[in-house]
Amino acid sequence: MKVVILAGGFGTRISEESEVKPKPMIEIGGQPLLMHLMRNFAAQGFNEFIVCLGYKGYVIKEYFTNLKYHLNDLHFEQLNGLPTPTTNIALDWVVDLVDTGQSTLTGGRLKRVREFIGNGPFILTYGDGLSDVQMKKVIRFHNDSEALATVTAVKPPARFGAIKMDDHGKVNSFEEKFDAEDNWINGGFFVLEQGVFDLIEGDSTTWEQEPLKKLAEIGQLSAYKHNGFWKPCDTLRDKRELESLWEKGAPWKNWKD
């Protein structure tokens, strides 16, 4: 199953970092958020990625073009020549880096990469959030639900929108804001069927608005409740907290260096 990663937003709430790089390239423990996310997926058996680029997408292209140099120690015979890696760290991934437009919204970015996904179900997530969610469990839940879409629901601070669901994980509504404490919110990590593309009109469609709300309205959106670790990197405070967690062992780190 392929993994689509939305990595094209402007990251305005963490402009101190995103003025020079896209938010998924903000580093935690010396590695971009995007690499943390992809290494987590690969450790779970998902190693085919489609990265939706937009704002400063060239930074991500340059990083992956030179990935073997980032991962390995290097030896130079001449400083104006190409280096030779002296270690042998390699990642058996298949990665498509796709320019989905500078100002395209999240739903539009997804629709633009449809041809890269193929005909089966796929995973969709954001390039700026980390979690210890086990995707194979989410996929099993999705298959049992027989819905067009499954979202991973988490319980973080009240500054996010709310998912309202019944006891069986069927979503009744998708709200932008909530006040009560006992609510679940969109943590990303979706499992989606091809039918969701019919609900995306074009570049101006926000995935979290019309498509998700329509899926909930027609009873085709289910939610997998994840009670484990989940954290986005929206602000400098978030970045510092993730750095601190990395130094203590990083609950999302499931790979060996």
Q: What angle do CA 117, 176, 147 make, to 5 degrees?
A: 40
Mean predicted lDDT score pLDDT of the chain:
90
Q: Which domain holds residue 107?
A: 3-74+86-247
Structural domain includes residue 92: yes
Structural domain includes residue 97: yes
Q: What is the CATH number of the domain that holds 170?
A: 3.90.550.10
**What token pair was written down for 80?**
């104006």
Tell me which DSSP letter residue 170 carries. Answer: B
Cβ-count burial 55-81 (b if 16+ within 10 Å, e if not): bbbeebeebbeebbeebbeeeeeeeee
Q: What is the largest CA-CA distance in the chain?
A: 65
User: What's the rounded Cα separation, in Å, for the pair 210 and 86?
Assistant: 51
User: What's the rounded Cα separation, in Å, for the pair 40 and 27?
Assistant: 15
Structural domain includes residue 253: no
Structural domain includes residue 256: no
Structural domain includes residue 252: no
User: What's the rounded Cα separation, in Å, for the pair 67 and 91?
Assistant: 9
185 and 156 Cβ atoms separated by less than 8 Å: yes
Q: What are phi and psi of 184, to 5 degrees?
A: -120, 150
In which band, very low, low, confident or very high, does the pLDDT at 9 lie, cut at 50, 70 and 90? Answer: confident
Domain count, the chain: 1
72 and 87 Cβ atoms separated by less than 8 Å: yes
In which band, very low, low, confident or very high, does the pLDDT at 99 lie, cut at 50, 70 and 90? Answer: very high
Q: Can you tell me which residue has the tokens 């601070």?
A: 157
Burial category of 171 from C-beta neighbours within 10 Å (exposed 0-12, middle 13-18, buried 19 and up): buried
Structural domain includes residue 255: no
Instruction: Give the predicted TM-score (pTM) of the model.
Output: 0.88
Structural domain includes residue 79: no
pLDDT exceeds cutoff 80 at 182:
no
Which is nearest to 75 in space by CA: 65, 88, 63?
A: 88
Structural domain includes residue 22: yes
| The predicted structure's pLDDT at residue 80 | 76
| The predicted structure's pLDDT at residue 40 | 98
Torsion of Cα atoms, 221 then 140 then 6 then 21, to 10°: 140
Q: Tens digit of pLDDT for each residue in 31-89?
A: 999 999 999 999 999 999 999 999 999 999 999 999 988 989 999 987 778 889 888 88
